[in-house]
Amino acid sequence: MHVLITAGATGIGRTIADEFLSKGWQVHVCDVAEQAVAEWTAGGPGRHGYVADAADARHVDDVFDRLAAVTPTLDALVNNVGIAGPTAPVESIEPADWDRTVAVDLSAHFYSARRAIPMLKRNGGGSIVSIASNAALFGLPLRAPYVASKWALIGLTKTLAMELGPFNIRANAICPGSVRGPRIDGVIEREARWRGLSPDVVRHAYERQSSMRCFVDAADVAQLAAFLCDPRGARISGQAIAVDGHTETLGDLTEFL
């Protein structure tokens, strides 16, 4: 079975790629990080890598052209690519930062899906999984481009599920909470600077937004992605599934500070 994972050579994507590899899949990753892609492909059999910016439709077309030379069909697409975007009130966000966040967090998912769908149809079915965020289920001050993109991604996912269901192709979105790692560390540091607080105070407030008072591990996301793409998830489609210890609110942090 073949899966393509965008931004799959680094971060959460790398953990997802490792999870699929451990289950015997042929794993294709594309990533802007050239060295990470080289390290991934050199790691052993079943690994395929492509250097590409998933937010550039021309790069995505090139990836799928090269992928088609390896396999005419695809069993799964994991749209993992995403960036945090700026941390600022709306009136302080530069249009270029808005455009880049929407390009990576939304348009990139469309570019890959439109090319994957014919391969999934030739396969007789399959799965598209998009990594969204629990910010797609709430409002979130200071993160407007990110939140808007993730809400739109849920709409895209549900539309894909409706269009593709008759072809035995399911589409779902995973909505993680704060995932441990450099990306959330950067978000916390930027918000702490904006609020004039220490990063530890803001981190603690983030944790308290979850009923389980926890952040998420990348492995939590990877295991669910693999589940949704194998026969155990054969009847799950059109869902936005939170993996976040049950977030109670993503509104104003004031009550948690």
The set of catalytic residues is 146
CB 247 within 8 A of CB 177: yes
Helix ranges (H only) for the chain are 11-22, 34-41, 57-68, 95-102, 108-123, 144-164, 182-195, 199-208, 218-229
- How many residues comprise the chain? 257
* DSSP state letters, 13-80: HHHHHHHHHHTT-EEEEEES-HHHHHHHHTT-TTEEEEE--TTSHHHHHHHHHHHHTT-S--SEEEE-
CB 165 within 8 A of CB 150: no
Task: Tell me which DSSP letter residue 196 carries.
Answer: T
